[in-house]
Amino acid sequence: MTVVTRFAPSPTGYLHLGHAHAALFAYEQAKKAGGKFLLRIEDIDQGRARPEYEAAIYEDLKWLGLEWPEPVRRQSDHIGDYRNAVAYLEALRLVYPCFCTRAEIMAEIAESADAPHRPPAEPLFGADVQPPYPGTCRALPVAERQRRAKAGEPFALRLDMAWAVAQATTMEGALSWTDQGKGTVIAKPELFGDVVIARKDTPTSYHLAVTWDDHYQGVTLVTRGDDLFAATHVHRLLQAVLRLETPAYHHHPLLTDADGRRFAKRDKALTIRALREAGKSPDDVRKMAGF
């Protein structure tokens, strides 16, 4: 089987050294196996995505020496695919509209006598996970859901996690995936509660779009940082209920600065563009990124 990897950045800022590490890691995994490396632009957040950042992604990666087949898949060009996936989940009665605001959700969790706790801090998860949604809107009568949606109230579509897990295990038994660094991992998506699958103004979520795209593009090895390890529990469930292929995974350690902090856009991490302007060569930056 041909190994197919991908690097899927969001054009919401310039690429930094952490991005360079992730891109080079995926590229090298494909190269050493004689496989294929794909670039994907995850631009479903149209409020933050910018054309200049997308153009910079292509420029920076080519400067680093990476190559990929054209055309590049841009998520904003394939909204219909995600709508169809949501419609399929709706037909299976696996999603429901949630009209709660973030503040209302957190208040209900705080006031509950048996407030749910975030998943245990153990290597299984490795990422900071928000407390699960308490299911406030799950039991709303259909007529009430329709009335509120028709009135124009903003809502999100949430996955009915318990029902989805029941359906998935009926089809496949216990869900698991293979991680090159951790071996066989038993999926426990129920610990994450009823995750958001889409919103009224954005017809998909990261969870749904990335799971669908990896299947559609034939990705056989998903390489990404340890900060996304927890998300794979949810993605494995979506693969089961949507009847999609399950790739292998490799969650690699995050690149950090001298103080041990991971590189992040919000922290204005050192960008590839800034390093180029400072006179660094592609080899210099590759070495700084761990390659």
At 264, the pLDDT band (50, 70, 90 cuts) reads: low
Q: What is the pLDDT of residues 113-125, one digit of tens each?
A: 443 333 433 333 3
175 exposed, middle or buried (CB, 10 Å; 0-12, 13-18, 19+)? Answer: buried
Q: What is the pLDDT of residues 9-67, one digit of tens each?
A: 999 999 999 999 999 999 999 999 999 999 999 999 888 899 999 999 999 999 999 99
At 282, the pLDDT band (50, 70, 90 cuts) reads: very high
At 108, the pLDDT band (50, 70, 90 cuts) reads: low
Q: How far is CA 67 from the centre of its chain?
A: 23
Calpha distance 162→174 (Å, rounded): 14
Average pLDDT over the chain, rounded to an integer: 89
Residue 235 and residue 248 in contact, taking contact as beta carbons nearer than 8 Å: no
Is the bond preceding 119 in cis, omega lying within 30 degrees of 0?
no
Topology of domain 81-217+225-243, per CATH?
Rossmann fold (3.40.50)
Q: Give the three-class secondary structure for 110.
A: helix
Q: What is the pLDDT of residues 158-183, one digit of tens each?
A: 999 999 999 999 999 999 999 999 99
Length of the chain: 291
- 58-67, 73-82, 97-106, 178-187: lowest mean pLDDT where? 97-106
pTM for this predicted structure: 0.89
Closest CA to 134 of 164, 165, 166, 102: 102
**Domain ranges across the chain:** 1-71+256-291, 81-217+225-243
pLDDT at residue 205, rounded to an integer: 93
Q: How far is CA 253 from CA 61, 182, 225, 242, in A?
A: 21, 12, 6, 30
Closest CA to 65 of 20, 15, 2, 12: 20
Q: How far is CA 239 from CA 117, 206, 252, 262, in A?
A: 26, 14, 22, 29
Q: How far is CA 262 from CA 18, 258, 266, in A?
A: 7, 10, 11
Fold match between domain 1-71+256-291 and domain 81-217+225-243:
yes
Topology of domain 1-71+256-291, per CATH?
Rossmann fold (3.40.50)
Q: Which residue has the tokens 């990404």?
A: 224
Closest CA to 290 of 18, 8, 3, 11: 18
